[in-house]
Amino acid sequence: QVQLVQSGGGLVQAGGSLRLSCAASGRTFSSYAMGWFRQAPGKEREFVAAINWIGIIADYADSVKGRFTISRDNAKNTVYLQMHSLKPEDTAVYYCAKTRTSSATRETYEYAYWGQGTQVTVSS
């Protein structure tokens, strides 16, 4: 059973930075791509970023490109989302997720396991 435990998040002023972490249990972490999604109140869950199994290829939603960076440390079974220049519209619950594939993907159906979610609130 794979478990994804998230940490980080919180309240920050616009223009500030936060880093989210997601630690995975199990021995197959390094074989699979990971991703981050977010869900704002009253909105559907949306893709934020994804990274392939070895951490070389990353994909970002246009809304976060240039401000967010996804990375992973396979030795620590952990994926990170570094967020800079945060905006009020980045306010959401953020979820990490583990795919069933080695390639970075935006498709929700490719993600088999999800973290518990962590709140990020950006004040104006």
Which two structure tokens, joined as six digits, stand for 95? 């979820």
Strands of the 78-83 sheet, one edge to the other: 4-8, 18-24, 78-83, 68-73
| pLDDT value of position 87 | 98
- Per-residue confidence of the chain (124 residues) as pLDDT tens digits? 889 999 999 999 999 999 999 999 987 898 999 999 999 999 999 999 999 999 999 999 999 999 999 999 999 999 999 999 999 999 999 999 999 999 999 999 999 999 999 999 999 9
Cα(66)–Cα(61) distance, integer angstroms = 10
CB atoms within 10 A of CB 50: 26
| pLDDT value of position 18 | 98
Give the bridge partners for 111, in sequence order: 99
Which two structure tokens, joined as six digits, stand for 76? 């620590």
Cα(52)–Cα(41) distance, integer angstroms = 29
Which two structure tokens, joined as six digits, stand for 4? 């994804």
| pLDDT value of position 51 | 98
Query: What is the Cα 14 distance to its own chain's centre?
Result: 19
| pLDDT value of position 1 | 81
N- to C-terminal Cα separation, the chain: 40
